[in-house]
Amino acid sequence: MPTFKLDGKDIPFEPGDSIIKAAARSGVEIPHYCWHAGLSAPANCRMCLVELKPAANQRAMMLDIVEWDPVLKDYKNVQKPKLQPACQYPATEGQEVLADSSKHVLDARASVQEFLLLNHPVDCPICDQAGECKLQDYWLEYQARDHTGKRMRDEPIHKPKAVVFGPTIVYDAERCVMCTRCIRFMEEVAKDPVLDMRERGNLNEIFVAPGRQLEGHYTFMTEHVCPVGALTTKDFRFKARVWFLKSVSSVCQGCATGCNAHLDYDPRSNKAYRYRPRDNEAVNKYWMCDEGMLSYRAAHEGRVIEARVGRTRLGVDAAIKEAKKRLGDVPKEAIAVVLSAQHSLEDNWAMRELAKQLGSSTLYAAGAGAGYADDILIDADKNPNTAGVKELAPNARTYLQLLEDMRSGRISHVIALGGVTPRNDPEDATALGMLGTLVVIASHEGALTDAAHVVLPATSWAEHTGTYANRQSLRQVADRALIPQGASRPAWELTKLLATALGLEVPFTRLKDIRAGLLGSSTAAPSTRDVAAITTGAT
Ligand code: SF4
Ligand code: SF4
Ligand code: FES
């Protein structure tokens, strides 16, 4: 691979890379506002300026400038090299680039900072971006370095604040650094060029096309790409301070795409607060959809957190006793087992082992129904693990076939993983009501938990580490963030308890055993925990 030198360090690059992109891939950040690895590079913020050393047979391009001389107490004429934007300048073999090691570059960064902050309000204490704001970070690194404060003494320009751009996003023009990332995201990725810039100079502001609002399936990403607190989501603003939040690597459960995400939560209250996209070129690049961004709420909404028999809440042990009472005398092979594309591979593997021990002739698979799809990210399959279930039980019958088999009396006793079903029809409830026994182990409420005789509370994806196979059959690991809520326990653990109560011996006691079984059964790619996701660290 060809390389160039950045502050003396060799940086490999791919043909077509800009200096900043190649550096980011090597884990070296060149300060920037307008550049984003997933968007075009307008080079309008000038924060990424670098000095290019001329080759032996070239002269450096120099600029005449005036510089304040504190001894002379006057300006004097000097020269400085013409700096170049690293976000636009292509990486070339053998090029020597100076960034942190160049005084001219450090001066330029401090000047850009001073310029951006001339009219910026000092409302960091009430800004949602505080703690993860590029303006704050770079001020500390480059402007505070020489204790260069703002020299302008005039009243700052005031611009519109708290402008509602649409159902999800609010805009603060005074905080905006005019990087145009939001405009470019809507045009280049969401394919809906609804944002633009108006006016000139310090009167610049972002606006929504007349007669439109910022809406659709990708509005949250405008907030995510905004490097400062100019765009905030109605969902997150004023809800939490980011320094109190912790984060785990997660996988969105909203559809079969399996977008990689950071799940941010407050460990003090055991509460999930938001999703942020986690870069993965192979799956979601740098993005997530709005529905996915809001799906962190499922960590708390619609959860099953207590065991129950009918409508009566009980302890897990008592509920398992009831399941044993109901299923104990039923011929084992007559008990049907339902897997769930809403649950992890681990949970489904454990349930499939239970089915094997029962000698069930047929497996069924359920999950959420189909929905909206596009050719950007969103898949019509609203389950995170359909490919995983298919891999474990390629011939599993569908939920509709399960209903048919119930109506025809072919099955009368069922153990199901997951409460969610593709549809929630009153007629289906009648069929489910005909069952002799329905035991459901689930993290979320649905038609199956509604009809169940016994419900056992399973932890959700946010409360355990689990593996999910997305539409590419790529196994991806979502890490645990929250402490299990209520009496919930991992579904595989409940499956083991139920199996033992029914006098069955399933071949696992610990998660380790299941993971080993899963590795053995895999025809798909190993998880992204094993194969590092390709990231460029673009934020
Ligand atoms: S709102 Fe944010 S993303 Fe959009 S131009 Fe302003 S600073 Fe950039
Ligand atoms: S596309 Fe699917 S997986 Fe990705 S964020 Fe949206 S709902 Fe989640
Ligand atoms: S990041 Fe290069 S000019 Fe903005």
pLDDT in tens, 364-419: 999 999 999 999 999 999 999 999 999 999 999 999 999 999 999 899 999 999 99
Instruction: Report d(CA 222, CA 145) in Å as an integer.
Output: 31
Query: What pLDDT does 534 receive?
Result: 34
221-245 pLDDT per residue, tens? 999 999 999 999 999 999 999 999 9
Q: How many CB atoms lie within 10 A of CB 419?
A: 25
Instruction: Report d(CA 114, CA 107) in Å as an integer.
Output: 10
User: Beta partners for 439?
Assistant: 415, 454
More confident residue, 221 or 427: 221
- Check whether 528 has a pLDDT greater than 60: no
Which of 21, 30, 33, when mutated, tests ligand 3's pocket best, judged by the most ligand atoms within 8 Å of its CB?
33
- Check whether 535 has a pLDDT greater than 70: no
- Check whether 325 has a pLDDT greater than 60: yes
Element (H, E) at 450: helix 447-451
Distance 42 CA to ligand 1 centre (A): 13
Both structure tokens of 16: 């077509």
Contacting residues for 248 by C-beta, under 8 A, at least 6 apart: 262, 263, 265, 478, 479, 480, 481
3-state SS assignment for residue 419 = coil
* Contact by Cβ (8 Å): 52, 96: yes
- What sign has the CA pseudo-torsion 10, 12, 15, 17? negative
User: Beta partners for 246?
Assistant: 265
Task: State the pairing for strand pair 307-309/271-277.
Answer: unpaired
User: Which protein residue has the closest C-alpha to ligand 1 atom 3?
Assistant: 226
Query: What pLDDT does 148 receive?
Result: 67
User: Which protein residue has the closest C-alpha to ligand 2 atom 4?
Assistant: 259
317 residue type, one letter: D
Give the residue ranges of DSSP H helices in 198-247: 220-225
* Contact by Cβ (8 Å): 184, 40: yes
User: Nearest Cα to 123, choosing from 175, 196, 179?
Assistant: 175
- What is the pTM (predicted TM-score) of this model? 0.93
Which of 119, 182, 219, when mutated, tests ligand 1's pocket best, judged by the most ligand atoms within 8 Å of its CB?
182
Question: What single DSSP character describes residue 141?
Answer: I
Torsion angles phi and psi, residue 271, rounded to 5 = -130, 135
Least confident of 5-14, 96-105, 147-156, 293-302: 147-156
**Strands, sheet with 169-171, edge to edge from the N-terminal-most edge strand:** 163-164, 169-171, 231-233
Both structure tokens of 74: 């006057």
Both structure tokens of 527: 């998880």
- Is the CB of 259 within 6 Å of ligand 2? yes
3-state SS assignment for residue 403 = helix
Both structure tokens of 97: 């680039």
Q: Which ligand neighbours the alpha carbon of 175 most closely? A: 1
361 residue type, one letter: S
Which of 48, 178, 226, when mutated, tests ligand 3's pocket best, judged by the most ligand atoms within 8 Å of its CB?
48
Q: How many helices (H) and strands (E) does the chain have?
A: 14, 24
User: Which protein residue has the closest C-alpha to ligand 1 atom 8?
Assistant: 179
- Is the CB of 138 within 6 Å of ligand 3? no
